[in-house]
Structures are given as structure tokens and as C-alpha cells.
Structure 1
Amino acid sequence: MTTVAAYAAPAAKAPLERTTIERRPVGEFDVLIDIKFAGICHSDIHQAQEGWGEAIFPMVPGHEIAGIVSEVGPGVTKYKVGDRVGVGCFVDSCRECGNCKAGQEQYCVTGGVPTYNGIGKDGEPTYGGYSQNIVVDENYVLRIPDGLSLDVAAPLLCAGITLYSPLKRWNAGPGKKVAILGMGGLGHMGVKIAHALGAEVTVLSQSLRKQEDGLKLGADHYYATSDPKTFQELQGTFDLIVSTVSAPLDFNAYLTLLKTQGALVNVGAPEEPISLNLFSVIGGGKTLAGSMIGSIAETQEMLDFCAAHGIGSEIELIEASEVNTAYERVQSSDVRYRFVIDTATI
């Protein structure tokens, strides 16, 4: 076991503080990664505050991890010391269920192991990326292409794949009208990726405060959802809407913006239940769906796509001591557009 410095929440809703954690020895198929950068995802806040249910404490959040391989086990074939790598939202799965065998490990039905706030196969809690290093099985490590700087690549391991997966699945591309609902850490990646895929991109945001940014990042149109005229003007417009919002919405209103047989896909996860009139879906044969990150193979595809198109996250680089202030600012939508911790400051 190796002792490393980290930032952890000692209890639900408690401020994060500097501490130390134990990392397991490097096993036969393990990769030891010196973490260079760790993104702050809104999911980190939900879990540290037990907004999604009972959690494990102390908790070291962080599932947007970018770093350098510093040691490999004797059986490792995919990576070598010095490689640029990343780790996303999960670090293991059962490898035996139908979803795992189909290459959809993110939907493992029996033994998925989240990067933090989970229990590993050794029976010990998992700790995430707000730390100096991490040990991960090589099959759950991603290669970060040379064309991506590690700091702007880190958020791609959650925010990037969370948007890339539904955009690809619902065929965003030339001739398709796509709306990204919410212009935050997830939404700004949706704008970049949908634009690179060739879709006509519209941002639906509560206000026009970030309009200039949205247009610069690739949006063709930008509308304020606080204006009732938006819903009148855009009725029946979109083939696909991807909602990144983590607060309850009037889905009945947003479903009116879809074309016949259009889809509204949720990647944001509100803590509260929603209300839905099913006629909003039945009328027009519309789809209300969800999507959760992506598989290992699709995440690698996303990283390669982003490198090929020069896409990284828009970030604010912070020191580890600023993490609690960063959490407050995320909750106030005061970040453009992803906080990334320089882990050298832990």
C-alpha cells in the first residue's frame, strides 16, 4: 500500500479538506498513474452532498483524470511508463454480464465499480482523482492523444463522453437540427462536439448571458428559455435535444420543440423527480430518453475525435485549496466552463 495526499469530504455536506489515503499495490494488470489534472464535475458535488442518496465517507471525488503512467504491472500490454492517459467514471466492471460482453461496461448490471464512492473488488472504498495518483486496471484506462493538452483533456473523461455518446447514437450530423439545453460544463462540450459532427446547433439557455460564448464555440443559434416566445418560435424544430440540466424542467414544454419522432435525451440528473404528461410523448411519436457516459471503446473514440478536431474543454485551472470555493461557484453557475485542479498543488 502507498500513502498519497488527497482532498476529501469527511462527511456529507462537509467542506473538502487535505488528507492522505492508501492506494493498493500495483497488481499484474494494473497501471499506476501520476495524476496531473482532475476536473470538477457537478456529479462530484451531488455525491459529496448525498444529493443522489447515501454515500461513502470519507470521499475523494474526481472522475475526470488525466496523468502520466509511472509504473505498470508485469502483465500489462496496453501501456508503458511515460504514456499520457486518462480515467473516467468507472474503474472496473464484472466483465461477464451481457452489457460488459457487448462492450457497454458503463451499464454493467452486476459489478460496476465507480472511480470514487464505490467499493472495489478488493472490498475497499474507491477514491477518485482529487489525489496525487491512482492505480487502475489497464482495461479501464484511456489513451490521451498527443494533440490534446492534459489539462483541457481531463474533463473529456466525463463531460466529453457524456455528450459525445448521445450525439453519436441519435445521429447528430449534417442535415440534423440539434439543441443543447444548458450552457455549462456539459453543455459547452455538447456545442463543440455537435458542431464538429456537422449538425445545425442551437443553445437553449435560461438567459442570453453566455450567448457570445455559445456562438464562438460553434452554436448557430442561441435562445433564452426564460422568454415564452422561445417555445412558440421553436415549436417542432429539433431532431434532437440533449438536456444537460441537473434541475427539474417542464419536459412537456420542451417536448413540443421536437419534430415528429424527435428525441429529448437527458444526461443531466436532477435530484428531484419530474412530472410528465405522456401525451407529450405519444403525440408525435417522440422519445424521452437517458444516456450515461459511454463505454471504454466509445470514450477512446471520443478522445481521438476531439484530438482530430482540436476540441478540448474550456477550463479554469485552480489550486487544490480552492476546491470548496469552486464547488460554490459551480452551484451558482459561475464557471466558464469547467474547473480543473492542478494536482501538483495537493
Structure 2
Amino acid sequence: MTDFNAYAATEAGAKLTPFSYDPGALGAHEVEIKVSSCGLCHSDLSMINNDWRASQYPLIPGHEIVGTVTAVGDHVSHLKVGQTVGVGWSSHSCGHCGQCLSGAQQRCPKLTTTIAGHGGFADRVRVQGIWAIALPDGMDARGAGPLFCGGITVFAPMMDFGLKPTDRVGVIGIGGLGHLALQFARAWGCEVTAFTSSTDKMDELSSLGAHNVVNSRDKEALKPLRGHFDMIISTVNVSLNWPAYLSTLAPEGTLVTVGAVDEPMGIPAFSLIGGQKSVAGSDTGAPHMVAKMLEFCARHDIKPMVDYFKMDDVNKAITHLKDGKARYRVVLEN
């Protein structure tokens, strides 16, 4: 067995260094993928730094993988060698719990995340076959990696919470996730408003799909929007004036957070009771939903905006992301 070659952090906060490991025998339900590219996400930084107190070292980051199938296990029949596939946050699930059987495999209690196994900052990876999703014909594989985390994270709540093409949608935070949420919501047919603290992005956000752009630092800007939105998707990981945003929801509207805010959000009960409003969270997506998202992207020509780095420049790419220079996603290429 030839070792897999990767880049790993050996301790919390460490720079990534070359690391090799023996993956063992290919499992019957697994596929092996030659990695052509892998996105770099803020979640990778959190895992490198052990911000979530769940990291194990040596840690190979990377969970926005695109590559070519090089081997399939005996029980994998839906993929073949040579196919181009992508892999996101999840790499293995049990297949027999209630969540798996109901099509919500991303919520399996025995779920293995791609980073918790061996991630995509490598030349090859192994994952359970159901988590390797074939790219649609004609999709540009080079920049597709961020769809498998950033993309599905904002696409899933639109599906799960029944977004309608007649709805009005607000997107808070126009970065790696938010710039994709704008494109999805516009293609869905919705009226789309972008909330951003970067006023220099106005023209760019309009080109991405925003009908309206609101300066999120302007305390007075939310007042004219009271009762306006059917759904707000928040991608930020910092606390905001949540009651003010809840006031902009229409009756029965929903504020969905996909950003990992690390402190209590402080939602007053009366902000929800009046108008039967809701606050919800959303994770990633099951394999069938990832496939639907990819079809939707191919149909509407939705693409991440990407800064590219070579895989062996991974530490430069991490610094680029830390410094807030990414517009809007970062992809490492082998």
C-alpha cells in the first residue's frame, strides 16, 4: 500500500507540515479519490486551532474536495473509476439509524467528519461512497470545491424551510457563504437583500444577485424594513442586534443562523411571539440534497468566486484567509 501524502497540523495553532500515512485496505463501502483541489474554509482554521475542543492531532484539514475516483469498494455500485466527484463536511455515516434511514445522513449520531478522519489537504482521500457526489456534466470542477461546504450550508435551509420564489430574503454577511446565498436566492426567484458592513461591495453584490444592499452598521437602516422578510439567513459568527433583525421579519418569518456564534444570542420571547416568528439553525446537507444543489448550480450557472493557491502554499493560503483578503473562497490545487 502506497502512503497518502498530506499537510497536517501536529498541535493546536501549528503551521501545516508534510505528513504521510498508510490508509490501510479500502473498505467495501468506500471510494478512493485522487484530489485535484480542496477548498480552505474558516472551519478548517477552527479545527487547526482547536477552537471547538474537538480536534485530534496530527490533523489534516480540508473538507471541500474535488477529485477523480481511483478505486471503489466491492459494495459501491453507483460510482466508477475515472468519475469526477466532490466531498464535503461528512465522510462516513452508519446507514441504519433513524436519521440515515430518513435521508438526513448528515445528522447521523455516528457521523464522521472529513476532517476528523483524514481531510483533503492531501493527494488522496478515502470516504464512504455515498458521500462522494458526482459533478454534473459540464460543471467546472476547478472551482466547485466550496459548493460542498459553503454552498450546501446556505442551500439546505432554503430547501428545508420551504423557501418560495415569491419570498423576500435577507442575507447577513456577504463572505464565503453569503455570496453563494445571494446567487441561490436570486436564481430561486426571490427578492434578495444583502446586509454587509463593507460598503465598497455594493456593485459586486448587485452583480451576485442582490436587489438591495443595506449597510449593516447603520442602526437606522433596519427601521424601514420592519415586517419585510420571509427569511433571513445569517452567515456571521459574531453577535448582532438580533431583536432588530427579528423586527424585519414578516409574520411567520424565520431567521436561520448558519454562522457559529459562540455566545448566547439573547432572543427576547416577545420578538418571536408577535407574528409567530422563528429562529432556527441549519447544518450541511444529506447526499441527495448536495446532488440537487449541484444540479441547481449547473442549471443557473452559479459559481463560487475563488482565489487559487498551490497545495504546497497552504500556509500562505491560510494567512490570506486569516487576513480577510479572500474574495470570497480559497481553493488549494494539486
In structure 2, the partner of 1:213 is: 204
In structure 1, the partner of 2:113 is: 114
CA displacement, residues 287-343 of structure 1 (integer Å, 9 cap, x when unaligned): 00000011111111111111111112110111124333333333343211100000x
Distance (Å, rounded) in 2 between the aligned partners of 1:48 and 1:61: 7
In structure 1, the partner of 2:152 is: 161
Q: Residue 10 of structure 1 aligns to which amino acid in structure 2?
A: T
Distance (Å, rounded) in 2 between the aligned partners of 1:195 and 1:257: 19
> Is the contact made by 1:36 and 1:66 (CA closer than 8 Å) also made in structure 2?
yes
In structure 2, the partner of 1:248 is: 239
In structure 2, the partner of 1:262 is: 253
> What is the CA-CA distance between 1:95 and the residue it aligns to?
1.6
Partner residue of 2:316 out of 325, 336, 339:
325
Q: Residue 60 of structure 1 aligns to which amino acid in structure 2?
A: I
Q: Residue 324 of structure 1 aligns to which amino acid in structure 2?
A: N
Report the 3-state secondary structure (helix = DSSP H, G, I; strand = E; otherwise coil) of the residue aligned with 2:280.
strand
> What is the CA-CA distance between 1:213 and the residue it aligns to?
1.4
Distance (Å, rounded) in 1 between the aligned partners of 2:140 and 2:267: 42
Distance (Å, rounded) in 2 between the aligned partners of 1:239 and 1:332: 34
For the pair 1:28 / 2:19, whether they are aligned, the reply is no
Distance (Å, rounded) in 2 between the aligned partners of 1:251 and 1:53: 27
> Is the contact made by 1:173 and 1:194 (CA closer than 8 Å) also made in structure 2?
no
Runs of 4+ in 1 over 3 A off after TM superposition: none
> Is the contact made by 1:147 and 1:308 (CA closer than 8 Å) also made in structure 2?
no
Q: For residues 1-346 of structure 1, what are the structure 2 equivalents within 5 Å?
A: 1-109=1-109, 111-117=110-116, 126-342=117-333, 344=334
**How many residue pairs end up in the alignment?**
334
CA displacement, residues 213-232 of structure 1 (integer Å, 9 cap, x when unaligned): 11111111111110112111
- Mean alpha-carbon deviation: is it higher for 198-207 or for 45-54? 45-54
Given the superposition, is the C-alpha separation of residues 36 and 105 from structure 1 closer, same or farther in structure 2, using an over 3 Å criterion?
same
- Mean alpha-carbon deviation: is it higher for 156-165 or for 8-17? 8-17
Given the superposition, is the C-alpha separation of residues 139 and 76 from structure 1 closer, same or farther in structure 2, using an over 3 Å criterion?
same
Q: Residue 149 of structure 1 aligns to which amino acid in structure 2?
A: D
Distance (Å, rounded) in 2 between the aligned partners of 1:20 and 1:210: 42
Identity of aligned residues (%): 37
Report the 3-state secondary structure (helix = DSSP H, G, I; strand = E; otherwise coil) of the residue aligned with 2:237.
coil
Distance (Å, rounded) in 1 between the aligned partners of 2:330 and 2:155: 20
- Mean alpha-carbon deviation: is it higher for 147-156 or for 272-281? 272-281
> What is the CA-CA distance between 1:8 and the residue it aligns to?
1.1
> What is the CA-CA distance between 1:242 and the residue it aligns to?
0.3
Q: Residue 170 of structure 1 aligns to which amino acid in structure 2?
A: F
Distance (Å, rounded) in 2 between the aligned partners of 1:259 and 1:322: 47
Distance (Å, rounded) in 2 between the aligned partners of 1:273 and 1:53: 18
Report the 3-state secondary structure (helix = DSSP H, G, I; strand = E; otherwise coil) of the residue aligned with 1:23.
coil
Stretches of structure 1 lacking an aligned partner (at least 5 in a row): 118-125
CA displacement, residues 9-30 of structure 1 (integer Å, 9 cap, x when unaligned): 1111112222223323223232
Q: Residue 112 of structure 1 aligns to which amino acid in structure 2?
A: L
Stretches of structure 2 lacking an aligned partner (at least 5 in a row): none
Given the superposition, is the C-alpha separation of residues 28 and 97 from structure 1 closer, same or farther in structure 2, using an over 3 Å criterion?
closer
- Mean alpha-carbon deviation: is it higher for 87-96 or for 258-267? 87-96
CA displacement, residues 188-225 of structure 1 (integer Å, 9 cap, x when unaligned): 11011111111111101123122221111111111111
Distance (Å, rounded) in 1 between the aligned partners of 2:15 and 2:311: 13
CA displacement, residues 69-106 of structure 1 (integer Å, 9 cap, x when unaligned): 11222332111111010111111112222111100011
> Is the contact made by 1:51 and 1:271 (CA closer than 8 Å) also made in structure 2?
no
Report the 3-state secondary structure (helix = DSSP H, G, I; strand = E; otherwise coil) of the residue aligned with 1:212.
helix
TM-score by length of 1: 0.92
- Mean alpha-carbon deviation: is it higher for 161-170 or for 318-327? 318-327
Q: Residue 105 of structure 2 aligns to which amino acid in structure 1?
A: E
Report the 3-state secondary structure (helix = DSSP H, G, I; strand = E; otherwise coil) of the residue aligned with 1:13.
coil
RMSD value, Cα: 1.5
CA displacement, residues 132-190 of structure 1 (integer Å, 9 cap, x when unaligned): 11112212210111221112211111111111111122333421100111100000110
- Mean alpha-carbon deviation: is it higher for 265-274 or for 56-65? 265-274
Q: Residue 99 of structure 2 aligns to which amino acid in structure 1?
A: N
